[in-house]
Amino acid sequence: MLKKKGILIFVVLLISVAAIFFANEMQKKLVSNEVASKTGSTVLQGDLKENTNEDSKKDANANTQNTDKASNNEAKNEETKDASKTTQQNSSDKVNETSKQSTSKTVAPKSSNTNTAASTNSSTSTNASQTSNGGTNSNQSPNFIVMDEVNNKVICSTRVNFQGRNVADITKDTLTKFNINYSYVSGYFRSINGIRERSLNPSTDGWCYYIKDKKPSIGSSDFTPEDNATITWKYVKDGTKP
């Protein structure tokens, strides 16, 4: 009986030792698997990060390449535009040069040039004559006129800025401007352009001024015309008439 009990105890101890050993081995395997799992996860995360970084770098490189391509395309377009402008400019210059050469080869007849020059000189002489005689080149109607009514001759016809002056001052300044001689004594004009008063027989002739074709009753040094008025000096046979 004692031997049987001893054998049973020994078997139980072996089984206990084996169980403990097996449990330790299983625990080691679980720990190893957990460590391996964590390591794998870390590696995977690292790989994912590296892949993400690689993808980001690739995207950045792609964007940079696209930007460079766009810049190159813009530069090429600018070069193309500049070349087109240069070509157009050269073409225009050639056309202008051809036109100038064609124009320079066309020579007008001498008689035509002579007639044109004569006409120009005649026109210039006429304008100079009108200016020296008191004519006006203004597009506005004249508001200062001097005329010899006896001989039906206009001595001066021009546009004057009255500037609030009296008729005598306006007349003296305008006649002096056009080199027309006059004689002004005791407040009235005795002669204009060499035509003297009382040179006819009977001696009632003289110089009278009119404002809008009306003869004022006061002297020229006392009358100040409005800006829209017209001063007309007339050499008349009978200065006593209104």
Residue 212 Cα distances to 140, 173, 207, angstroms: 16, 20, 16
The pair of three-digit structure tokens given for residue 51, joined into one six-digit string:
């892949």
CB atoms within 10 A of CB 131: 14
Please indicate, yes or no, whether the overall pTM of this predicted structure exceeds 0.75: no
Residues 6+ apart with CB under 8 A from 29: none
| pLDDT one-digit tens code per residue, 19-44 | 888 887 888 878 677 755 665 554 44
| pLDDT one-digit tens code per residue, 74-111 | 655 565 555 555 555 555 555 455 545 544 444 334 44
Percent of the chain's residues with pLDDT above 90: 38
| pLDDT one-digit tens code per residue, 172-226 | 999 999 999 999 998 889 999 999 999 998 889 999 999 999 999 999 999 999 9
